[in-house]
């Protein structure tokens, strides 16, 4: 079985629809066909300030949501990044292989540090992509299921894997991005030119999966479309409508062309009403299942401990080989 690896940050509150459609949905499907490793990346989370108690709670919350979304610990390895110390250890080796200029060209870093101000951005934020490289290489992943915004980090991973292999002998598998075209980038409902994200300008454009279903329906109904009335998939000309069609198509499994036909002669109101209903049907059980996992933290924690144990077995082997190749003296 080919191997996949991916990660998600333990953000406050809940995952948003972009996380789910762009990544987590694929994770659920891939656990059936691939040797799958998925993690909550708490080491990455502290690249920006975190309240300790909240970070801990958000890490559990993230794991609960992943389970609610359909990850099955019998079918995949689900774990918390900090439970596997090899991530930080391989991260250091990768830091020492990365050029300063190379790291400076990472667009996510440039965006995030510009927002925070250069003085406040941490060195951890700067080396964030390099830790991600270590995450992927530790598991010798063949594919990395993510949204479009992570593509550059996977390119960096390939570059560093090739560099290491060239310098020290073949050690790492070169991973490929696994990015589905249709859902690579889900857009903000109020500003369909920008991707849906927690840092969006207005909360109205962001669908949080754990929000009150009623609030979600309201956000869908007030999504920005355009002054035309025709329901047609045309991302350049009709970004708002196209985004709604993508979401509806993915959640219902109905092709976009078929949806277009079905809405012929109908207005945006009909599309929004239908999507609002589909969204409510999706988030209602999702919320309930997440709450069930949260209500039993002992089971959740022990499930994560088992995941970490499985992950460590793989990670330790790769790290040992890497340390040997680099020339570290083995501890007797
Ligand atoms: P994160 O936590 O920001 O996002 C998790 C996943 O959601 C995807 N995503 C989207 N997809 C489509 N449309 C959107 N609007 C949208 N917003 C977010 C992201 O592309 C991502 O796949 N750096 C990563 C976490 C990470 C990781 C890794 C991923 C750490 N180590 C190793 C893969 C492999 C991140 O911050 O994702």
Ligand 1 contacts (CB < 6 A) are 5-9, 18-19, 22-23, 41, 44, 132, 135-136, 144, 146-147, 149-150, 185-186, 195-197
Q: Which atom of ligand 1 is nearest to the CA of 183?
A: 12
Instruction: Report how far residue 280's alpha carbon sits from residue 157's, in angstroms, rounded to the nearest whole number.
Output: 38
pLDDT digits (tens, 9 = 90+) for 136-156: 999 999 999 999 999 999 999
> 27 vs 63, 236, 268, 302, CA distance in Å?
13, 29, 32, 21
279 is known to lie in a ligand binding site: no
Closest-CA residue, ligand 1 atom 16, reads 18
What pTM value is reported for the model? 0.97
Q: Is 196 annotated as a binding residue?
A: yes
How many A from CA of 151 to the centre of ligand 1?
10
Determine the pLDDT at residue 141: 98
19 CA to centre of ligand 1 in angstroms: 7
Q: Whose CA is nearest to atom 22 of ligand 1?
A: 146
Nearest-angstrom CA–CA distance, 331 and 116: 42
Q: Are 103 and 109 in contact (CB under 8 A)?
A: yes
Residue 284 has a CB neighbour count (10 Å cut-off) of 13
Q: Mean of the pLDDT values across residues 99-124?
A: 91
Ligand 1 centre distance from Cα of residue 18 (Å): 9
- ipTM of model over 0.90: yes
Could you count the other beta carbons within 10 Å of the beta carbon of residue 237? Answer: 11
Interatomic CA distance for residues 123 and 140, integer angstroms: 26
Strand ordering across the sheet containing 143-145: 77-80, 35-40, 3-8, 143-145, 176-178
CA distance 152 to 93: 20
Q: Which of ligand 1's atoms lies nearest the C-alpha of 196?
A: 15
CB 228 within 8 A of CB 238: yes
Confidence of residue 259 (pLDDT cuts 50, 70, 90): very high
Share of the chain above pLDDT 70, in %: 100
269 is in an annotated binding site: no
Q: Which helix (H) or strand (E) holds 178?
A: strand 176-178
């Amino acid at each position: 079985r080919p191997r996949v690896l991916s990660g998600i940050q333990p953000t406050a509150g809940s995952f948003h629809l972009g996380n789910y459609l762009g990544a987590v949905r694929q994770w659920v499907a891939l656990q059936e066909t691939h040797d799958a490793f998925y993690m909550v990346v708490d080491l990455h989370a502290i690249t920006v300030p975190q309240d300790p108690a909240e970070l801990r709670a958000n890490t559990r919350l993230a794991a609960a949501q992943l389970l609610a979304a359909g990850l099955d610990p019998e079918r995949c390895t689900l774990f918390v990044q900090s439970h596997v110390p090899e991530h930080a250890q391989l991260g250091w080796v990768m830091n020492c292989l990365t050029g300063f200029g190379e790291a400076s060209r990472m667009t996510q870093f440039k965006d995030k540090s510009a927002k925070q101000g250069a003085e406040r951005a941490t060195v951890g934020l700067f080396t964030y992509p390099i830790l991600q490289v270590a995450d992927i290489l530790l598991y010798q992943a063949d594919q990395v299921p993510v949204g479009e915004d992570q593509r550059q980090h996977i390119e960096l991973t390939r570059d560093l894997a090739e560099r290491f292999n060239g310098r020290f002998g073949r050690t790492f598998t070169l991973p490929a991005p696994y990015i589905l075209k249709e859902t690579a980038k889900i857009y903000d409902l109020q500003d369909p030119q920008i991707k849906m994200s927690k840092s969006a300008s207005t909360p109205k454009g962001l669908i949080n999966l754990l929000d009150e279903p009623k609030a979600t329906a309201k956000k869908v109904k007030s999504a920005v479309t355009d002054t035309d009335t025709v329901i047609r998939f045309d991302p350049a000309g009709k970004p708002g409508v196209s985004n709604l069609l993508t979401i509806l198509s993915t959640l219902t499994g109905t092709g976009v062309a078929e949806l277009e036909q079905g809405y012929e002669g109908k207005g945006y109101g009909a599309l929004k009403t239908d999507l609002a209903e589909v969204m409510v049907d999706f988030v209602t059980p999702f919320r309930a299942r997440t709450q069930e996992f949260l209500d039993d933290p002992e089971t959740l924690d022990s499930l994560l401990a088992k995941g970490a144990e499985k992950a460590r077995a793989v990670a330790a082997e790769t790290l040992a080989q890497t340390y040997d190749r680099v020339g570290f003296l083995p501890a007797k």
